[in-house]
Amino acid sequence: MASKILEELQQKFQQQLAAADGLLASIKANRERIESCYKMFVKNEPDDVYRFYHQSFKVFGMTEQIKYAKSLFESLAPQSTSLNSWFNEITGEAVGKEFNSETTNQNWLQETRPVLEAFWHSKYFLEQMIRSAEELETAPQILPSGWAAVLYLYNLR
């Protein structure tokens, strides 16, 4: 019985490691797209955050960047994996937000902070993917924090 459980655990570990290797290969193959998306986040961040403090409806323009990054992440996913449920919840709360001239300004923080949160989570994962593509040849068994976070994005950790 114990050997069967150990065998199943080893098999699951090997499957996760193979999926992680596939993910890293996909990230490396799509590095140009990832870097382009990341550059867009970096370029727009100063103005987007300013728009938040200025109470400008333009802060909701960040949702298009978030949707694009999420779509990119989904396209990189190894077969039979999905994005992390917390990440999906965070981005889902952001992309569903729209400016309402009658309610948004009175509830500014409640309505716009989810957009900023999703923006920064997306930017973080883009950055970690780029770093991992630069630093890793294969998916390691002893994980650097950035790569471990990317694995969590795909429920591989």
How high is the pLDDT of residue 97? 84
How high is the pLDDT of residue 15? 85
How high is the pLDDT of residue 89? 97
pLDDT digits (tens, 9 = 90+) for 13-54: 788 888 999 999 999 999 999 999 999 999 999 999 999 999
Of 22, 39, 30, 31, the closest CA to residue 134 belongs to 31
Residues of the chain with pLDDT under 70: 1
**Domain parsing of the chain, residue ranges:** 24-153
pTM of the model: 0.90
How high is the pLDDT of residue 14? 83
